[in-house]
Amino acid sequence: MSAATPIRRWAPMFNVLSIIAIVAIVLSVIGSALLGYLPREIRIAAGIAPEAALPGAARTALVLVGALPAMAAIYVLGQMGSLFRMYAAGETLTPAAARAIRRIGMGLLAMAALGFVTRPLQILLASLGNPPGERVLAIGFDTYDLGLILAGGLLLTIGWAMGDAVRAARENAEFI
C-alpha cells in the first residue's frame, strides 16, 4: 500500500491542474475569437503586417480552425483528469485506467495530426486577403509535433501494456 500513497497524494493536485488547464484553453480560444488575435508566426508566414486587421469572416474561420487542436487538448486533459481521479481513489491497475491512458495517447496523436493540418490552413486563410500571387500555403513539421507523436505513441503503448497487466493479474488471482 505504501507504493500507492504518493499516487493518492499527488493525483488530486494533478486533477485540479488539468481542470485549470481546460479552463485556460477555453478562455484562450474565446479571447482569441473576441480580440481577433492572430499569432505572430502565422502573421509572418502569411505575409501580413502586424497592424493589419483581418476581415471578419477570415478571422472567424481562423478561430474555428485554430480551435480544433484546442478541442483535442481539452479531450486529453479531460482524460487525464479522469485518470487522476481514479488514481486518487486507489484504482491504479484497472481496465478503466488502461483505457484512459490509451485515450490520452490517442488524443496526443490527434493533437499532432490536427496541428499539422490546421497550421497550414490558418496560414492560407490569413493570406487570402493578400493580392494574387502573395497568398501562402506553408507546411511544416517541428519538434513539438514530433514530441506529441512520441508521447502519444508511448502512452498508447503503455495503455496496451497496462491492459495486458490487468488481464494477467486477474488470471493469476483466479489461480490462487
Cell 478503466, residue? 96
Look up residue 137 and give its DSSP letter. Answer: -
pLDDT above 50 (res 1): no
Domain ranges of the chain: 4-175
103, 160 in Cβ contact below 8 A?
no
Can you tell me the distance from the alpha carbon of 149 to that of 109, in angstroms, rounded to the nearest whole number? Answer: 5
pLDDT tens for each residue of 19-30: 999 999 999 988
pLDDT above 80 (res 4): no
**Residue 150 has what pLDDT?**
97
**Residue 142 has what pLDDT?**
85
Question: Residue 135: left (phi > 0), alpha (psi -120 to 50), or beta?
Answer: beta
pLDDT tens for each residue of 46-79: 888 777 777 777 788 888 898 999 999 999 999 9
Cα separations in angstroms, 37 against 32, 41, 50, 59: 5, 12, 11, 8
Can you tell me the distance from the alpha carbon of 31 to that of 141, in angstroms, rounded to the nearest whole number? Answer: 27
Query: Considering the chain, what percentage of its residues have pLDDT values greater than 90?
Result: 56
